[in-house]
């Protein structure tokens, strides 16, 4: 399944975030039970900017949009997203750190 980032205008209150996440999970569960598998992965609140970023997995942008609307989240945009994880090198791979090389 593809990943999508949903940008939502949000209050700074943690209680509002908890409620929004609960609605997103419930909406994803409802849509999935209707035959379209969508999953709410996580949410990150940026309180100083009053923005929350929700990550969903689903078969299409349209399926995620349906979940977001059902959850009552007022969103600014939905975009395709990808994760990247940076891991330190394994000891056997060595590292260029501290060798004085540019």
Long-range contacts of 10-17 (CB under 8 A, 24+ apart): 10/45, 10/50, 10/51, 10/52, 11/50, 12/45, 12/47, 12/48, 12/50, 14/45, 17/43, 17/45, 17/52
Q: Is the residue at 91 inside a domain?
A: no
Domain count, the chain: 1
Q: Tell whether the model's pLDDT for residue 101 goes beyond 80.
A: no
**pTM score, whole prediction:** 0.80
96 in any annotated domain: no
Q: For residue 16, is it within any domain?
A: yes
pLDDT tens sequence across 86-97: 888 777 665 555
Note whether residue 72 is domain-resident: yes
In a domain, 93, yes or no: no
Q: Which domain holds residue 75?
A: 2-83
């Amino acid at each position: 399944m593809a990943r999508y980032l949903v940008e939502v205008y949000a209050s700074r209150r943690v209680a509002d975030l908890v409620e929004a996440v609960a609605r997103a999970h419930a909406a994803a569960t409802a849509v999935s039970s209707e035959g379209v598998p969508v999953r709410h992965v996580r949410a990150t609140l940026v309180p100083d900017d009053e923005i929350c970023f929700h990550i969903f997995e689903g078969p299409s942008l349209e399926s995620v949009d349906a979940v977001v609307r059902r959850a009552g989240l007022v969103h600014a945009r939905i975009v395709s997203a990808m994760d990247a994880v940076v891991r330190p090198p394994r000891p056997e791979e060595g590292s260029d750190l501290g060798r004085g090389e540019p």
